[in-house]
Structure 1
Amino acid sequence: MTRLHVGCAMWNHKAWSGRFLPPSLPARERLRAYAGWCNAVEGNTTFYATPARDTVATWARQTGPGFRFVVKLPKVVTHERRFAGVEAEMRAFLDAIEPLGERAVLWTQLPASFGPPDVDALVRFLRRLPAARRRAVEVRHPGFFTDPGSTSLLERALAAADAEWVPFDTTVFFRSPPSSEAEQEAWDRKPRLPRRTRALTDRPIVRYLGRDSVEETVAGWRPWTAVVAGWLREGRSPTVFLHTPDNHDAPSLARRFHDDVRALVPGLGALPEPEPVEPATLF
């Protein structure tokens, strides 16, 4: 069954308390509350440290079978050693996320220095991953986007490994100078690359960065609603992650994106209604 997954860069944010998540919610229950708003999440924390298997098991218990985790490979694998001599680290990582089962997608995010000459190393690495594991790759070297030969080279490599190419669309964000501290930080850190809308597998993944302004963010994603609607009509099951520099409204924006796509694809099922957030009390 085709399904649109939408989500955010995290399942907990200070600004969400009392709005999207109940105030003073224990850490062990925050993912469950978040999963009432969204049906996917980026696993960015795994980039910095491989979690304990028991911790991941609590993630699995807090989410239903239709929830999707896109978990980032450790930086020691992708950035520090660039796939060389990482067998022990990958065994530990794969064992840790095993409780998520088919809900987990392995997300290989590569640094901007990883260019077309390095594709062979990526191919060898992808071949060693378990065949049953879904995999996706995000590249940031400009050559993959601007040189047709390099684009084709990477597409062939990913297609051979049944891996998706994850675009991080920042084009809307970089149209005008930053107007807040959060936007300035993103301006300095986020990649500036052309928008890419071609899917390689039946489960495309998109990361979209808007602005702190809700209106600008919504206006900027309109090209994506058409693309995602087309993928759904083709029988694909895409995942779209909504980012803004401050992420204050990210859960509601993710749901709004889902609603906009559903208006184009009436057969798409609605997201479940989140539980009401009760206001904090003194007693």
Structure 2
Amino acid sequence: MRLHVGCAMWTHARWQGRLLPDQLPPKERLRAYATWCDAVEGNTTFYATPARTTVESWARQTTPDFRFVIKLPKPITHEHRLTGAEAELKAFLEAIEPLGPRTHALWIQLPSSFAPTDLGTLATFLHRLPRLYKYAVEVRHRAFFADERAERLLERVLAGTGTEWVPFDTTTLFQSPPTSDAERDAWTKKPRLPRRSRALTDRPIIRYLGRDATDRTIEGWQPWVAKVTEWLREGRSPTVFIHTPDNADAPTLARRFHDEVRAHLPELAPLPEPMPNEPLTLF
């Protein structure tokens, strides 16, 4: 029984010297983060395919059971819209190969304009992908959430290749007007869609966005604590990513979420103790 938790990134200016040791060189930051959380979203790969040497560094800094959910590059999903991007996909797959088993899923985040009428394109793309990896799709077109027929058609396409549907739960953010600059910025950028909590595979992935106020973030994730507990009891192995608009306390919140699930399931293994934020001394 294993629950993995993580954040949208492994380095953040407001973590340095407070949650993670200050002055860490870039090649050590993921290693330090991995003592706090055992999963991370690979958002940077959306903007550029990393060099293979960079990915080799990621692998060196993490254990084989650490989970990366790696986003496909923007040229594949948003510019080519899953058609005619064979060269870009080949380069991406070659680059991430050093992660080995750490690649928990390749994450196909589709633009909000990708509609139910595009499902044939998605089905073709998924069937052509190498079976070496598991895949997860995030959609943002409202029809997939408001139209039951569109929802079922998407589920059928995903089920045909054992692909998971990744929900991005922003309902807590949009429950009331923003109260900080970070929340105001999130209001303009994040999708406003209903919460979806149905798993299609044995490895569901949740992206949850709370508020900058810790109590509101915790209050908003209570349905997910119940759902993740249920999934674990069913034998599934979920991964949960905790976001807030400013992400200042995301690692501690991710651990808090894990603790809340573990309160329902004491047999769930605890997370390891995080690295101290200051170097250890003899005195």
Tell me, yes or no, whether TM beats 0.5.
yes
- In the other structure, the counterpart of 1:172 is 172
Local SS of the residue matching 1:208: strand
- In the other structure, the counterpart of 2:29 is 30
In 1, distance between residues paired with 2:87 and 2:60? 27
1:86 partner letter: A
Contact 1:23 1:279 in 2 (8 A): no
**What pairs up with 1:81-230 in 2 under 5 angstroms?**
81-104=80-103, 105-230=105-230
RMSD of aligned Cα (Å) = 1.2
For structure 2, list consecutive stretches of 5 or more residues without a partner in the other structure.
none
Q: Structure 1 residue 102: deviation in Å?
A: 2.1
In 2, distance between residues paired with 1:203 and 1:178? 33
In 2, distance between residues paired with 1:279 and 1:38? 19
For structure 1, list consecutive stretches of 5 or more residues without a partner in the other structure.
none
Contact 1:167 1:205 in 2 (8 A): yes
- In the other structure, the counterpart of 1:74 is 73
Q: What number of residue pairs does the alignment pair up?
A: 280
Contact 2:20 2:275 in 1 (8 A): no
- In the other structure, the counterpart of 1:265 is 265
Local SS of the residue matching 1:76: helix
Local SS of the residue matching 1:14: coil
In 1, distance between residues paired with 2:259 and 2:178? 28
In 2, distance between residues paired with 1:15 and 1:240? 21
Local SS of the residue matching 1:57: helix
Residue identity (%): 67
Local SS of the residue matching 1:70: strand
**TM-score using structure 1 length:** 0.97
Offset from partner CA, 1:75-102 (integer Å, 9 cap, x none): 0000011011100000000000001112
In 1, distance between residues paired with 2:119 and 2:235? 29
- In the other structure, the counterpart of 1:53 is 52
**TM-score using structure 2 length:** 0.97
Contact 2:46 2:72 in 1 (8 A): yes
2:155 partner letter: E
In 2, distance between residues paired with 1:279 and 1:101? 31
In 2, distance between residues paired with 1:31 and 1:20? 13
Q: Structure 1 residue 194: deviation in Å?
A: 0.5
In 2, distance between residues paired with 1:132 and 1:201? 16
Q: Structure 1 residue 19: deviation in Å?
A: 1.4
In 2, distance between residues paired with 1:103 and 1:27? 20
In 2, distance between residues paired with 1:249 and 1:35? 15
In the TM superposition, structure 1's runs of 4+ consecutive aligned residues that sit over 2 Å from their partners are none
Local SS of the residue matching 1:59: helix
